Each structure stands twice: as structure tokens, then as C-alpha cells.
């Protein structure tokens, strides 16, 4: 329990490997000793009994269980050309067989209902477009399955992850939208040997602190194309300190890992920049009367107040802040969670500053499908009848294409079936460097941060008709 | 408060000692927090002000006033909703958990009507007129919702054990919430912007116009309700049914009709609260009714369930406590993240009141069968 996750994982992997070796020898003995018996029927039982640890390799499903043994055994026996030549992976997490005519199973797990749907739905839709644009992988169709909802919560992430891992054919999951959901979903999904690639999570807890220490919720097999919030916090702090010239600021979060991580990143960076943090507080997501928390913040009379939270709590803070004594002239700042077409038209948000991913994708093109950002926005609008309601659609698109590339790199065809090595998928993603996506150049680090991490700060011009102009009204840009 | 067991001279059990311990510690925490806060306000450098929380900054008079006003306006809303819980409990003896959703229906109706009025231009040109109109519409819709609820879900269960309508009411609550998602979508919906005089602070009292409006309207509704219940014939019928429905029926009172009236009145109060919510927070979502509903139920219990004045008092108590409590009592004690604890404070008030006075501030008014 006390061990860092990475050490535990490598240990577990080591043990799994030994167990597989042991299984192979048992299997070989059995095969030699009772040559007339029905090996196929015998094998899964023995493996299951001998190795409860190696879940995927010893899974009772014949398709997954038989694969590593069959291939490993064939290799030394007959020196015929190895069909898995060039495919990544060592089989340590198991191999999935996709039979001829079947489709490769991946899943989408985004926040597609409720308040945060305006954030998660575009990521899901972009994944649908990406899978269509990508076409087949080694002649096999890709099935995104029924889209699941992470409900933007820990519980939602956990429930959906349990549904996903029950299907052992699933290779990878595109999701989640909310960091809070990923905290619960990532351990379940990665333990099952699948990968989780998010286009929306930004909490530093899920990857690393950017100087080599894993976050508390880091697990192997988790990746993301969205930026790490340490960058976003730094960008906002630099903007407040240098461009606005303020020396005091406060922050409010709502207890969600995303909002808490970002608010913390902001105050840390603001102090590093030489500013003074006068208050750091939290609200509940369902609070409506913000006067008490704002009064608490007002005690320090900050020049700027950063509240990287969601709707509806964000509506109430922006609405009630000017009325609280001591906050009348405080500049309000928020982040990408509120930077959307529902929040910007509200009268109380006019003039507010928002940090978020750089939305000026321009002529960036995805190297796997060849589609440019402009082409994709056009086909998105044509398909769904509205422009994407958040910038993270682009992250979602790139997340889907790197997953499909990884599957291609870690698979081979044999006897008409497609075999996919789960460890190979991970190897490909951890080694991903210099990939051109819609969001810019993607480079994955050892903790799964793959995004281009370009951050901009925009100012809201106000009014329903100015939403698009406001999104493009960049007043500050930042790149690590 | 001398526990009855002690007065009678019966031996005290372990449970009694435990309860006494709880009572004493609850009062100690409140007293210590208050003392530290007062010490802080007198002189922020004095040692007693800083013994628990060296970072405590105290509040300015204006900020404290702001907290009280926000608590009173929120509490007035809880009180209005609590009236519905209390009245239904008074006549039928069960808790109608779907009452919070009636409040949500009121806020939603107000949102739809006010947006239509804003489109037509009337919202800006004649704000008070529009307000009266949306209040009327919302009160009618909410009364109808409550009456239909009674007819469809509760009347067929009349005479069943009380747990059955209680569970049914939870089901009704889910039904109404999900119906709202289906009909209006899951996103938060905004009220149109209110005129400046409603938003700006009144120079004399330093209160925002909207909060004055909320407090005045709540007071007016309370007076109307009191008049209806205490001074009219139907009110007398309601009180008679609450006393003993069988004997009331023998006296020629149409019990079903009276119960319908009770639901309609409770619904009207919830509809009123819904509009006030819309004016104050200008945003409504399908789950809007849940937490205020639970808090209003607590308010009804705190005040003494079945008692009208108690519902309003309980609402104000909980509203002010959850607004003022975190900063005045918990912060000087060095508790961190106090603003997230407002719900905890609200329910702590409920527990505290039940510990000290188990039947609520005004005392529970029990239906006849429970009294015997």
C-alpha cells in the first residue's frame, strides 16, 4: 500500500511474467504427458487455478488465454516467418484476438448528459468522426460501441468503467471528460490491461507534477491529449501578474480534482511570480448562495479572484461577487470549465478573463487521417448542426487517432484473425514523439501527458451574439 | 432544560449520560467559537482571538451584515417551502418528500414565463407587473401539481401505513425531476436579467433590492397563509381535520376536499418560493428542488413540525445559521475549508435542536392518533 504506484506496477508485471513462464512449462509438461487429452479444454482451467494474478493472460475466455501460449510455443518450435514481426509488445498483458468479420472494440466514456455535456459531448462526437475518418485497422473495422456517460463524477466513472472492463475484447477507452471520473475509472480500466486516453482531463494528480514525480492518481496505461493544469495555472498566474499587474489574488475551487488542482496550480504559480495569495477556499457543487464564501475571500481584498469551476456554481459566484463588500472591483477569472457557449452570454460574465487551451488550430492537420482543423469543424457542424461547444473536441479527435495508430502498431494478422498485444499498445503510446495532431505536436512523457499544452487567456466581450468573437479574443498566450 | 428522567428521580441510563455529553459539547463548541469571534472583533491582536486560528481575520460590520441578510433571504425561502411540509404532515401525518420538486416546478415555470415576457419586452418595461404575472402563473401551476400529486399518488394510499405514502413521495420526486429533464433538458436555465434597481444595493440598509423583495414577499405570503388558516372557514376545516379527521368528517367537513386545499396551499407557497429563488439566483436546473427541499424539511422539524410559525422560524434559523455559522463559529476555531461546510452546519442545527428540544422550537403538533 505504501509503495509508489510505479514500483508496485513493475513488481506486479514482473510477477505476471514469471507466472506466464511457469504456466508455459506446466502446459508443455501436460502436453507432453497426456498427448491424447483435449489440451484446449484443459488449459484454461489449469491456468486459472495456477495463476489468479495474471488476470488477462489466464482469463477463462479461450480467445485471450490461448494466444500468448500458442505464439510463444510456436516461436521456438518452427522457425517459419513470425507473423507478429514488427508488432510491438511482449504479450505480458495478454493478447486479444479479433476474429474475421468482427470489429476491434474500443469505447467512449465522456460526460454526455447534464451540465458538463457541453464539454464532454464534443469530445465524444470528435471520436466518432475520427473513427470514421480513420477507416479500418489492418482490414478490420473499429467499433466504438455504445457511448457511456462518466456523469462528471467519481461514481459515474467507476460505474461506467465496470461495464467496460466486463467486456474483455475492449482494447482502449477514449475518456473521461472529467478528471474526477478518471480518478475512479483509470485504475479499473488499466488493471484490465486496457488503455484510457482522455481528451478532457487536466488534473495534475492523474499524471505528474511535470518535474518527474507521479501524481497521487497516476496509473500506467493512462494517457491524455489535454494539457496538464500546472501549465494552465502558470499561464493564468503569469497573465495576472504581468499583464494585469496585480500583486494580490485569491482562488475558489469546488472540491473536484480538476478544480482543486487548477486552483492550487494557480496560487502556487502566482506566489512563484512574486504575488500574494490572500485567500483559498472551496464551495460545494450544488451551492447557490455564495455570499458566505465570497465574504471569506473578501476579508483579504484580492485584486483578482480565480474560480476554475463549473456551471451552475460559476453563475452564482460571478453574479454575487460584485455585491459583496470588498469584492466590488475585483477582477473575475475562470478557466476552461466555464469557457463555453452557455456561460459566456450571461450578463454577469461580461469582461471576465478565461484561461483555456489554445483554440487557434488554424491549418493544423491530423497526420493519421490527413484532416485539417477547418475541415473537421465543417464536418462536425454538418453532422451535428452546431459548432463544437468546447475546444476539447480537437483533443478528443487526436486521442482517438493515436489510439488507433497504437492498435495498428501493436497488432498482426494470423489465420485470418487480428491479434492485438495489450502491452504493445502501451509501448507505442509511451514512445509517441512528434505526432502532428489538430492541437499541435503531441509528445507523450512517462506519465501519460501527451498534449501540446498551449494555453491562451481570452476576455469575454459579453452578449449571446459575441460568443465566437469572445473565444477568439485572445489577450495572452503561453507555451511551456 | 432539565431532562424529564431527572425530574422524576428515575435513575439515569448510559444513553442519558451520552446525550448530556453531546448537548454539553455542542454548546461548548458554539460558545467557544462565538467567544473567539467576539474577541477577534473587539481587537484582532488579542491572544484569545488567535489561540485556535492564528490566520483568522474577522469580518467587517458590512460583511457580517451581508451574511445575515443573505441568510435571512435564503431562510425565508426555506420557510416558505417548509410550510408545505408542515401542513401536509399536520393533516396526513406523513412527510411529502416530493414537495421540494413542487418548488422546482415553480422556479421552472417562472423561468419559462419570464423569458417569454422578456422576449415580448414587458419584462423591462413593466418589471413589477411581470413579476406579479409570473407569481400568479407559478402559484397556479404549483398548486395544480401538488393537487394532482395528491390525487394520483397519495389518495389511493390513504389509510395505508404511513411508510407507504412516504416511499411513494420519494418516487414522485424522482418522477418529477426526470420529467423536467425530458421536457426541458438537463442544462441549467437562466432567468432574464433583472433591472438595475433590483440588483444594486439599497443605500439605506445596504441590502440588494432582490433580497428586500424576497424578504417582503415571504413575509406577505406568510401573513396571507396565517389569515387563511386561522380566520377563514376552510382554514378552520383544515385545523379540524388536523385535530382529528374522523370527528371532523362526522361534523360534516369534507375531508378529501380539505386535504386537497391543504396541498394546494402548500403548493402555492412552494411556487412563491420558486419565483423568489429565480429572482435571487436567476438560474434553475432539474435538481434545484432537492437540497432546498431537504433543508426546508429540516426547517419544519427544527421549528416543530405541523406548526406554521415554527416552519417559518425554523427556515430562518437554518438559513441564518448556514450563512453565518461557518465564518462566525467554525473559522475562529481553526476549521479549514469552512465554506464547504455550510450544509453540515445546517444539519448540525437540526441535530442540535433535536438534542436540546426533541419536538422542535415550537413543539410538534401531532395528529390525534399519535397523541393518544
Strands (E), A137-261: 142-143, 148-149, 170-175, 195-198, 222-224, 248-253
Q: Are the beta carbons of B66 and A291 separated by less than 8 Å?
A: yes
CATH of the domain spanning A230-357+457-478, picked from 3.30.9.10, 3.40.50.150, 3.30.565.10, 3.40.50.2300? 3.40.50.2300
- Looking at chain A, the whole-number percentage of residues with pLDDT higher than 90 is 54
Q: State whether the Cα torsion A123-A237-A322-B125 is positive or negative.
A: negative
Partners of A477 in the beta sheet? A456
- Give me the pLDDT at residue A47, please: 40
Q: Are the beta carbons of B57 and A299 separated by less than 8 Å?
A: yes
Q: Are the beta carbons of A325 and B331 separated by less than 8 Å?
A: no
Burial label for A384, CB within 10 Å (0-12, 13-18, 19+), is: middle
Rounded-to-integer distance, Cα B109 and Cα B113, Å: 6
- C-alpha of B231 from chain center: 24
Rounded-to-integer distance, Cα B277 and Cα B272, Å: 9
Q: Are the beta carbons of A325 and B63 separated by less than 8 Å?
A: yes
Look at residue A232 and tell me whether its pLDDT is greater than 90: yes
pLDDT, mean of residues B278-283: 86
- Give me the pLDDT at residue B196, please: 76
Q: How many residues does chain A have?
A: 480
Buried b vs exposed e over A168-207: b needs ≥16 C-beta within 10 Å? Answer: bbbbbbbbbbbbbbbbbbbbbbbbbbbbbbbbbbbbbbbb
- Residue spans of the domains in chain A: they are 5-80, 104-226+362-449, 230-357+457-478
- Report residue A26's pLDDT band, with 50, 70 and 90 as the boundaries: low
Let me know: does A229 contact A258? Beta carbons within 8 Å: yes
Residue B303: all three cell numbers together: 421549528
Using a CB-CB distance cutoff of 8 angstroms, which residues of chain A are in contact with residue B274? none
Contact residues for A1 (Cβ-Cβ < 8 A; gap 6+): none
Rounded-to-integer distance, Cα B59 and Cα A142, Å: 61
Q: State whether the Cα torsion A22-A23-A24-A26 is positive or negative.
A: positive
- Give me the pLDDT at residue A52, please: 40
Chain A: which residues have CB within 8 Å of chain B? 113-115, 117-118, 255, 281-284, 286-289, 291-293, 295-296, 298-300, 311-312, 315-316, 319, 323-326, 342, 346-347
Q: How confident is the model over B175-207, as pLDDT tens digits?
A: 999 999 888 877 778 888 888 777 776 666 777
- Give me the pLDDT at residue B34, please: 84
- Give me the pLDDT at residue B63, please: 83
- Cβ within 8 Å of A, B 177-216: 186-188, 190, 193, 199, 201, 206, 208
Rounded-to-integer distance, Cα B249 and Cα B239, Å: 12
Rounded-to-integer distance, Cα A120 and Cα B320, Å: 38
- Looking at chain B, the whole-number percentage of residues with pLDDT higher than 90 is 37
- Give me the pLDDT at residue B339, please: 82
Question: Which of A368-377, B196-205, B242-251, B362-371 has the lowest average pLDDT?
Answer: B362-371
Residue A341: all three cell numbers together: 457557449
Residue B65: all three cell numbers together: 451584515
Closest CA to A361 of A392, A329, A331: A392
Look at residue A13 and tell me whether its pLDDT is greater than 70: no
Q: A–B: how many Cβ contacts below 8 A?
A: 94
Q: A331-334 and A353-357: which strand pairing?
A: parallel
B246: closest CA of chain A, how far (Å):
43
| Helices first, then strands: H and E counts in chain A | 14, 18
Burial label for A14, CB within 10 Å (0-12, 13-18, 19+), is: exposed
Q: Are the beta carbons of B70 and A316 separated by less than 8 Å?
A: no
| Residue of B187, B322, B327 lying closest to A295 (CB–CB) | B327
Q: Pick B142 or B326 by higher pLDDT.
A: B142
3-state secondary structure of A276: strand
The residue assigned the cell 518452427 is: A78
Using a CB-CB distance cutoff of 8 angstroms, which residues of chain A are in contact with residue B281? 288-289, 315-316, 319
- Report residue B367's pLDDT band, with 50, 70 and 90 as the boundaries: low
Using a CB-CB distance cutoff of 8 angstroms, which residues of chain B are in contact with residue A326? 60, 62-63
- Give me the pLDDT at residue A28, please: 52
Q: What is the mean pLDDT of chain B?
A: 85
What's the fold here for domain A104-226+362-449? Rossmann fold (3.40.50)
How far from B82 is each of A121, B125, B211, B300, B346, CA to CA, in Å?
A: 38, 34, 19, 5, 14
Using a CB-CB distance cutoff of 8 angstroms, which residues of chain A are in contact with residue B291? 286
- Cβ within 8 Å of A, B 25-84: 57-60, 62-63, 66-67, 70, 74
- Give me the pLDDT at residue A43, please: 38
The residue assigned the cell 463549473 is: A310
| Residue of A113, A299, A315 lying closest to B188 (CB–CB) | A315
Q: Pick B94 or A30 by higher pLDDT.
A: B94
Q: Are the beta carbons of A299 and B58 separated by less than 8 Å?
A: yes
- Give me the pLDDT at residue A22, please: 58
Let me know: does B349 contact B329? Beta carbons within 8 Å: no
Could you write out the DSSP letters of every residue in A358-423? ----TT-B-TTT--BHHHHHHHHHHHHSS--SSTTHHHHHHHHHHHHHHHHHTEEEETTEEEEEHH
With residue B356 as reference, give the H or E element that holds it. Answer: helix B342-356
Closest CA to B237 of B206, B260, B210, B220: B260
On the question of a cis peptide bond just before residue B311, with omega within 30 degrees of 0, the verdict is no
- Give me the pLDDT at residue A24, please: 57
Give a three-class secondary structure readout of B304-344.
CCCCHHHHHHHHHHHHHHHHHHHHHHHHHHCCCCHHHHHHH
Q: Pick B286 or B55 by higher pLDDT.
A: B286
Q: How many residues does chain B have?
A: 372
- Give me the pLDDT at residue A63, please: 44
| Residue of A284, A319, A346 lying closest to B340 (CB–CB) | A284
Rounded-to-integer distance, Cα A209 and Cα B57, Å: 32
Let me know: does A216 contact A205? Beta carbons within 8 Å: yes
pLDDT, mean of residues A49-71: 43
Let me know: does A91 contact A82? Beta carbons within 8 Å: no
Q: Where are the alpha helices (DSSP H) in A57-116?
A: 62-77
Q: How confident is the model over A315-352, as pLDDT tens digits?
A: 899 988 988 888 888 999 999 888 887 788 888 889 99
- Give me the pLDDT at residue B4, please: 52
Q: What are phi and psi of B324, to 5 degrees?
A: -90, -40
Using a CB-CB distance cutoff of 8 angstroms, which residues of chain B are in contact with residue A305? none
Burial label for A256, CB within 10 Å (0-12, 13-18, 19+), is: buried
Rounded-to-integer distance, Cα A311 and Cα A344, Å: 11
- Looking at chain A, the whole-number percentage of residues with pLDDT higher than 70 is 83
Let me know: does A230 contact A265? Beta carbons within 8 Å: yes
- Report residue B307's pLDDT band, with 50, 70 and 90 as the boundaries: confident
- C-alpha of B301 from chain center: 10
Q: Are the beta carbons of A315 and B190 separated by less than 8 Å?
A: yes
Question: Which of A68-82, B51-65, B126-140 has the lowest average pLDDT?
Answer: A68-82
Q: How confident is the model over B227-239, as pLDDT tens digits?
A: 998 899 999 999 8
B314: closest CA of chain A, how far (Å):
18
B247: closest CA of chain A, how far (Å):
45
Look at residue A5 and tell me whether its pLDDT is greater than 70: no
Q: What is the DSSP letter of B10?
A: P
- Residue spans of the domains in chain B: they are 75-286
- Give me the pLDDT at residue A221, please: 94
Question: Which of A10-24, A120-134, B60-74, B195-209 has the lowest average pLDDT?
Answer: A10-24
- Report residue A388's pLDDT band, with 50, 70 and 90 as the boundaries: confident
- Give me the pLDDT at residue A453, please: 83
Buried b vs exposed e over B306-336: b needs ≥16 C-beta within 10 Å? Answer: bbbbbbbbbbbbbbbbbbbbbbbbbbbbbee
Amino acid at each position: 500500500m505504501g509503495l509508489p504506484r510505479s514500483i508496485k506496477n513493475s513488481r506486479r508485471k514482473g510477477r505476471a511474467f514469471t507466472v506466464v513462464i511457469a504456466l508455459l512449462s506446466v502446459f508443455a509438461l501436460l502436453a507432453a504427458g497426456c498427448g491424447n487429452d483435449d489440451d484446449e479444454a484443459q488449459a484454461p482451467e489449469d491456468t486459472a487455478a495456477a495463476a489468479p494474478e495474471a488476470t488477462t493472460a489466464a482469463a477463462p475466455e479461450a480467445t485471450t488465454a490461448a494466444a500468448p501460449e500458442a505464439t510463444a510455443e510456436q516461436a521456438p518450435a518452427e522457425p517459419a516467418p513470425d507473423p507478429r514481426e514488427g508488432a510491438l509488445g511482449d504479450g505480458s498483458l495478454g493478447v486479444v484476438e479479433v476474429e474475421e468479420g468482427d470489429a476491434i472494440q474500443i469505447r467512449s466514456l465522456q460526460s454526455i448528459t447534464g451540465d458538463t455535456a457541453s464539454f464532454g459531448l464534443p469530445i465524444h462526437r470528435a471520436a466518432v468522426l475520427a473513427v470514421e475518418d480513420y477507416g479500418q485497422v489492418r482490414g478490420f473495422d473499429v467499433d466504438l460501441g455504445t457511448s457511456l456517460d462518466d456523469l462528471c463524477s467519481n461514481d459515474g466513472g467507476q460505474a461506467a468503467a465496470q461495464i467496460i472492463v466486463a467486456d474483455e475484447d475492449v482494447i482502449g477507452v477514449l475518456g473521461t471528460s472529467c478528471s474526477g471520473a478518471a480518478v475512479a475509472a483509470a485504475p479499473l480500466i488499466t488493471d484490465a490491461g486496457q488503455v484510457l486516453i482522455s481528451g478532457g482531463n487536466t488534473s495534475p494528480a492523474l499524471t505528474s507534477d511535470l518535474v518527474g514525480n507521479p501524481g497521487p492518481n497516476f496509473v500506467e496505461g493512462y494517457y491524455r491529449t489535454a494539457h496538464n493544469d500546472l501549465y494552465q495555472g502558470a499561464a493564468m498566474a503569469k497573465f495576472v501578474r504581468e499583464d494585469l499587474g496585480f500583486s494580490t489574488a485569491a482562488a475558489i475551487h469546488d472540491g473536484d480534482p480538476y478544480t482543486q488542482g487548477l486552483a492550487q496550480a494557480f496560487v502556487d504559480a502566482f506566489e512563484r511570480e512574486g504575488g500574494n495569495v490572500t485567500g483559498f477556499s472551496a464551495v460545494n457543487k450544488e451551492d447557490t448562495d455564495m455570499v458566505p464564501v465570497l465574504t471569506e475571500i473578501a476579508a483579504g481584498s484580492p485584486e483578482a479572484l480565480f474560480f476554475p469551476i463549473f456551471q451552475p456554481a460559476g453563475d452564482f459566484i460571478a453574479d454575487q461577487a460584485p455585491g459583496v463588500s470588498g469584492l466590488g472591483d475585483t477582477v473575475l477569472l475562470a478557466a476552461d470549465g466555464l469557457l463555453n457557449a452557455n456561460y459566456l452570454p450571461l450578463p454577469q460574465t461580461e469582461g471576465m478573463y478565461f484561461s483555456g487551451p489554445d483554440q487557434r488550430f488554424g491549418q493544423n492537420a491530423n497526420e493519421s487521417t490527413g484532416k485539417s482543423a477547418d475541415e473537421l469543424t465543417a464536418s462536425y457542424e454538418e453532422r451535428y448542426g452546431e459548432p463544437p461547444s468546447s475546444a476539447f473536441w480537437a483533443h478528443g479527435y487526436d486521442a482517438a487517432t493515436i489510439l488507433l495508430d497504437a492498435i495498428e502498431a501493436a497488432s498482426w494478422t494470423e489465420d485470418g484473425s487480428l491479434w492485438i498485444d495489450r502491452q504493445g499498445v502501451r509501448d507505442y503510446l509511451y514512445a509517441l514523439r512528434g505526432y502532428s495532431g489538430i492541437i499541435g505536436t503531441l509528445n507523450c512523457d512517462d506519465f501519460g501527458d501527451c498534449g501540446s499544452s498551449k494555453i491562451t487567456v481570452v476576455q469575454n466581450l459579453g452578449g449571446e451574439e459575441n460568443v465566437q468573437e469572445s473565444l477568439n479574443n485572445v489577450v495572452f498566450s503561453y507555451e511551456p | 432544560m432539565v431532562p424529564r428522567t431527572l425530574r422524576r428521580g428515575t435513575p439515569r441510563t448510559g444513553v442519558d449520560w451520552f446525550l448530556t455529553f453531546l448537548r454539553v459539547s455542542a454548546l461548548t463548541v458554539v460558545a467557544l467559537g462565538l467567544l473567539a469571534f467576539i474577541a477577534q472583533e473587539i481587537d484582532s491582536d488579542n491572544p484569545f482571538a488567535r489561540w485556535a486560528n492564528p490566520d483568522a481575520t474577522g469580518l467587517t460590520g458590512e460583511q457580517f451584515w451581508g451574511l445575515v441578510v443573505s441568510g435571512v433571504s435564503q431562510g425565508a425561502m426555506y420557510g416558505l417551502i417548509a410550510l408545505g411540509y408542515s401542513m401536509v404532515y399536520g393533516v396526513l401525518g406523513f412527510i411529502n418528500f416530493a414537495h421540494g420538486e413542487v418548488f422546482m416546478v415553480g422556479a421552472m415555470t417562472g423561468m419559462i414565463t419570464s423569458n417569454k415576457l422578456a422576449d415580448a419586452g414587458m419584462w423591462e418595461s413593466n418589471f413589477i407587473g411581470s413579476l406579479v404575472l409570473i407569481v400568479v402563473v407559478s402559484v397556479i401551476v404549483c398548486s395544480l401539481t401538488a393537487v394532482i400529486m395528491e390525487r394520483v399518488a397519495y389518495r389511493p394510499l390513504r389509510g395505508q401505513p404511513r411508510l407507504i405514502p412516504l416511499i411513494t413521495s420519494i418516487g414522485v420526486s424522482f418522477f418529477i425531476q426526470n420529467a423536467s429533464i425530458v421536457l426541458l433538458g438537463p442544462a441549467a436555465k437562466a432567468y432574464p436579467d433583472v433591472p438595475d434597481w433590483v440588483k444594486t444595493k439599497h443605500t439605506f440598509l445596504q441590502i440588494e433590492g432582490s433580497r428586500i423583495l424576497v424578504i417582503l414577499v415571504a413575509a406577505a405570503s406568510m401573513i396571507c397563509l396565517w389569515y387563511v388558516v386561522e380566520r377563514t372557514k376552510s382554514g378552520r376545516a383544515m385545523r379540524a381535520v388536523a385535530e382529528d379527521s374522523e370527528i371532523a368528517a362526522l361534523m360534516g367537513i369534507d375531508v378529501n376536499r380539505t386535504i386537497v386545499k391543504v396541498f394546494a396551499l402548500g403548493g402555492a407557497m412552494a411556487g412563491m418560493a420558486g419565483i423568489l429563488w429565480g429572482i435571487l439566483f436567476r438560474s434553475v436546473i432539474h435538481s434545484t428542488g432537492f437540497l432546498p427541499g431537504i433543508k426546508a424539511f429540516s426547517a419544519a422539524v427544527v421549528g416543530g413540525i405541523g406548526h406554521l410559525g415554527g416552519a417559518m422560524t425554523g427556515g430562518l434559523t437554518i438559513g441564518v445559521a448556514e450563512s453565518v455559522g461557518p465564518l462566525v463559529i467554525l473559522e475562529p476555531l481553526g476549521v479549514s475549508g469552512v465554506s464547504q461546510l455550510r450544509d453540515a452546519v445546517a444539519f448540525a442545527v437540526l441535530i442540535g435542536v433535536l438534542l436540546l428540544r426533541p419536538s422542535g422550537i415550537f413543539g410538534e403538533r401531532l395528529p390525534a392518533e399519535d397523541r393518544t
